[in-house]
Structure 1
Amino acid sequence: MKNFKLLVVLFIGLFILQGCNKEDDENLSNTADLIGLWTSTEVEITFLVDGQPYTDNDLAPQFEGQGQTLVFREDNTFTSNEGTADEDKGTWSLNAEGSIITFNSDSGESYEYEILSSSDSQLKIKYEQDITALAAFFGVEVQEEFILEGEVILVK
């Protein structure tokens, strides 16, 4: 259950980044643009079971979290907090193209987020994770895979 909660915290914290402006860059050209405190304002979750959309309305709210904070620091460390005492820490990096943010949690888990759009005050990111191992926990019947996809809008 602790790993599940960590997964939720990381997922929500990282999906906070989104930009709505059509003039936004798809890639970040400078890591300095990420430095600071970001807060999630929108989280959109989609589940796929064996490649088909899963529409159980009771499941998505367990993964959505607006108001979660994510702090990017200049020393490439981060802190994520979902508004509770639970906090995640670790390191972050941006690929050379400025299109992927990688988070390496102190817990040993690693997560990648695709940058969909960015500006100086908004970031939109996308995340995908295979959560097939959690299918039984959620009472979902799966033949092959249970995928969680999410888009998060973060504002500075």
Structure 2
Amino acid sequence: KLRAQKMVKQTTNNYTIVRPVFIYGAAIKQVRKTFVQWVTDGLLRNKTLQVVNDQIRTPTYVEDICVAIETIIKENQFGTFNLSGSQIITPFEMALKTATLLNIDTRLIIPVNENNFNEIVKRAKRSVVNIDKAKMLLNYNPLSFDEGIKKCFPV
């Protein structure tokens, strides 16, 4: 990704790069499942889930990204824009909040640290980006995970 971004920047001055972080939203068929969908599917099948509690994220509700991209297009904005949610949270906390919202037993969710998984590529412990530029130039006002997760499962 970084190499592609560098190539774009070297090619033109009129570029726009959108860098979203840990996207989630309502399920869409034929689209790769998000973390929230993985959690939901597992919980609805009454599976025990091991979820990391030693990493932090700023999950981004997909509609916030759509609004930002619409603003970029309408206002002819250029540059690199980091887009993330407004809430810093662990994947474990995300899973608990999802289970609670769906009224599913949270005891199915087991906290573990990243060493429990043999991932080829290690994830960053802290995946938090600066969204000040997007807030200033795009009037970007992302939802917290608590707000966004409710939109994924309207009651």
TM-score, normalising length: structure 1:
0.25
Q: Which has the higher helix share?
A: 2
Q: Which has the higher strand share?
A: 1
| Structure with the greater alpha carbon radius of gyration | 2
TM-score, normalising length: structure 2:
0.25
